[in-house]
Amino acid sequence: MTFDVAGTRRQFPILSEIIDGRPVHYLDNGASAQVPVAVIDAVRKYETTGRANVLRGVHRLAERATEAYENARADVATFLGVKPMEIVFTGGCTAAINLVAYSYGQLMKAGDRILLSELEHHSNIVPWQMLRQRSGIEIDMIPVTLDGRIDLSLLPKLVTPKTKLISLAHISNVTGALVDVKAVVEAAKAGGAKVMLDGAQRAPHGPLDLPALGVDFYVFAGHKAYGPNGVGVLWAKPELLNAMPPFMGGGSMIGRVTFAETTWAPAPRRFEAGTPPIGPAIGLGAACNWMRGLDWTAAHDHEMGLVQRLMDGLQKIDGTQILGPASLQNRYPVVSFMLEGVHPHDVAQTLDSFGVAVRAGHHCAQPLMDRFDLDGTTRVSIAPYNDNTDIDALLTGVRHAAKTLR
């Protein structure tokens, strides 16, 4: 079935804008995706007809806000194939990982080990280093293969009885490589470890079935998944959420407070101290519903057709090199490349003059850049609303950069 890209594009107002005399060719979705009308309308409805704080009020606006907020939790849960009270709203994907590092980390002791990989985003490295400084845990690293994949062949050696958590990117934000979750979960179970996936780059590409994946924690960001900024999601198995101590203290996350002691509310409330990101959460619920309405079989075929068009075009330009898998197998629509003799920032600036938005630099993945001895790459990240005109405009810009900047 052919994907209706034109109809999808019409749902995103910014894609029909002319900015500084140029059309918008937005290929920076891995940093932040654009927002459809359905999400804009959901946030506007809350802000204009139901704005109030949630959970504690008894007036009609507070009840309306609480209902919308909890409905959003249910919408996210449906998107992930889990139960609503297993969903914790956070300030973002980074905040969700930090929550796990602090709260689950409190259950770890000196000498326990966490297994990461060389291609992780800094947000899945730094919180664990901070935990190491606090508690004396150890960090092990899975190397990356030459084609930008995690080398899972080393798992049997790296997973030991001291390994308590394996935390990996579901999809690399640099190479687009999809991790073999089944292999990771099997290795973890054999060693008694838990598994967390950073789903920031996977969640924007359709609904998930987390119970089928068999992982213990899953996190993603709203702004990369066609939702507002300032909201993210942590899902964890109920027994883990209920065992973990709170990350932050304040209102809403308590059972009872006295000066002698405080008791905690059950999960997920104990992890949502203070006023949560109400409007952004409502918008994220709408984004999850919007994504569930797409034909993702057709959408994914469309996205990967654009990846093939992009890679074929880049390979015809002298001096370009793609970092990551050369085929479409077990990869998603994130493509990083280098142009010999030209800094990635200069490539991106040239592309901007053609109306093309991409990301350039180390992509918060400096250990991966060190692995390949790179200053950075130019990254193209594709969404269902992208089309051939976006890819062709990018290739025109790269050809111009190759001629004028070397």
Handedness of CA 168, 94, 336, 375 (dihedral sign): negative
Q: Is 264 left (phi over 0), alpha (psi -120 to 50) or beta?
A: beta
Write down the domain spans for the chain. 5-31+295-404, 40-292
- On average, the pLDDT of the chain sits at 97
pLDDT tens column, 223-253:
999 999 999 999 999 999 999 999 999 999 9
pLDDT digits (tens, 9 = 90+) for 29-66: 999 999 999 999 999 999 999 999 998 889 999 999 99
Over 80: is that where the pLDDT of 274 sits? Answer: yes
Average pLDDT over residues 324-340: 97
361: closest CA among 28, 127, 96, 51? 28
Q: Is the pLDDT of residue 1 over 80?
A: no
> Taking the CB of residue 7, how many other CB atoms lie within 10 A of it?
9
- pLDDT given for residue 393 in this prediction: 98
Structure confidence at residue 179 as a pLDDT band (50, 70, 90): very high
Pick among 3.90.1150.10, 3.40.30.10, 1.10.357.10, 3.40.50.2300: CATH of 5-31+295-404: 3.90.1150.10
| pLDDT bracket for residue 113 (50, 70, 90) | very high
226 within 8 A of 39, measured Cβ to Cβ: yes
CB 155 within 8 A of CB 147: no
Strand partners, 116: 141
Other CB atoms within 10 Å distance of the CB of residue 20? 7
Q: Parallel, antiparallel, or unpaired: how do β-strands 25-26 and 22-23 relate?
A: unpaired
Q: Is the pLDDT of residue 193 over 90?
A: yes
The pLDDT of residue 152 is above 90: yes
Q: Residues 10-39: what's their mean pLDDT?
A: 97
Q: How many Å apart are CA 112 and CA 165, to the nearest integer? A: 9
pLDDT over 90 at 70, yes or no: yes
Does the pLDDT of residue 329 top 90, yes or no? Answer: yes
Residue 190 near residue 214 (C-beta atoms within 8 A)? no
pLDDT of residue 56: 80
> What's the pLDDT tens digit per position in 81-110?
999 999 999 999 999 999 999 999 999 999
Q: Which of 38, 364, 374, 405 is catalytic?
A: 364
pLDDT at site 57? 85
Task: List pLDDT tens digits, range 349-385.
Answer: 999 999 999 999 999 999 999 999 999 999 999 999 9
CA distances from 344 to 50, 267, 361 (A): 45, 44, 6
Q: Which CATH architecture has domain 40-292?
A: 3-Layer(aba) Sandwich (3.40)
The answer to whether residue 364 is catalytic is: yes
CA dist., res. 111 & res. 163, Å (int):
9
The pair of structure tokens assigned to 319 is: 């001096």
Residue 361 and residue 237: Cα distance in Å, rounded? 36
- Tell me the sheet residues that pair with 194: 165
pTM: 0.97
User: In DSSP terms, which residues pair with 117 in a beta bridge?
Assistant: 142
- Contact (Cβ atoms closer than 8 angstroms) between residue 251 and residue 274: yes
